Amino acid sequence: DQQVKQNSPSLSVQEGRISILNCDYTNSMFDYFLWYKKYPAEGPTFLISISSIKDKNEDGRFTVFLNKSAKHLSLHIVPSQPGDSAVYFCAASAEGAQKLVFGQGTRLTINP
Amino acid sequence: KAGVTQTPRYLIKTRGQQVTLSCSPISGHRSVSWYQQTPGQGLQFLFEYFSETQRNKGNFPGRFSGRQFSNSRSEMNVSTLELGDSALYLCASSLAGIPNEKLFFGSGTQLSVL
């Protein structure tokens, strides 16, 4: 039972354009959401997070949007840069649960 | 400050063998979590340790076990290896292991079971 789903295994975007990565979840108990970025041969690194009491959080070129009624979140990267090429994982946690539930990941490729 | 260190980076084993993976967390971090990454499945939570106690466990068979030492270093053991155990095993540490706390991941151990 995949509680966090990233339905796009891959995404290709031109440099300078906006990249939009999507994530859906099924567990209504999730109250905190995170995005991690992973380069080959490295561990995932934290990118940005959002609490369920908010619907948007911004950090530089990265913005995460949360739509609780749709159980959907998205990560916007603008403008996209070649260094953004990586696998992006969304993750969720529920209060009291000391574990993260991850999606399958989306491989983002930024083309020059 | 040194990051999370996992050893070894690569392992090749045959079916039926057992394997032990090691993780040294960031200094001062007391929570260590383990995740399994396979293509198409993302990261699957294995277990989490805090102060030498397992606090949470994922849906993996009993062949997967772990422990944490007094210096917060952790080991993960997989017995009677199966082909499906081939994966990247990631260790992550955090200060206290509370849900909203940022996890810091190591580079992982790539296990291949032949």
Q: What single-letter DSSP state applies at residue A84?
A: G
The reported pLDDT for the residue numbered B81 is 97
What tens digit of pLDDT does each residue of A72-85 get? 999 999 999 999 99
CA dist B114 and B100 (Å) reads 38
The reported pLDDT for the residue numbered A96 is 66
The reported pLDDT for the residue numbered A34 is 94
CA A91 to chain centre: 7
What's the whole-number mean pLDDT along residues A84-102? 88
Q: Which residue of B has its CA nearest to A9?
A: B40
Identify the residue with better confidence: B37 or B98: B37
At CB < 8 A and 24+ separation, what contacts does B41-47 make? B41/A104, B42/A4, B42/A6, B42/A89, B42/A102, B42/A103, B42/A104, B42/A105, B43/A44, B43/A89, B43/A91, B43/A100, B43/A102, B43/B90, B44/A102, B45/A99, B45/A100, B45/A101, B45/A102, B46/B76, B46/B89
The reported pLDDT for the residue numbered A91 is 94
Asked if B55 and A98 come within 8 Å (Cβ–Cβ), the reply is yes
B27-31, B41-45, B72-76: range with lowest mean pLDDT: B41-45
Quick check: B1 pLDDT over 70?
no
- Residue B51: list chain A partners with CB under 8 A: none
Residue A98 pLDDT class (50, 70, 90 cuts): low
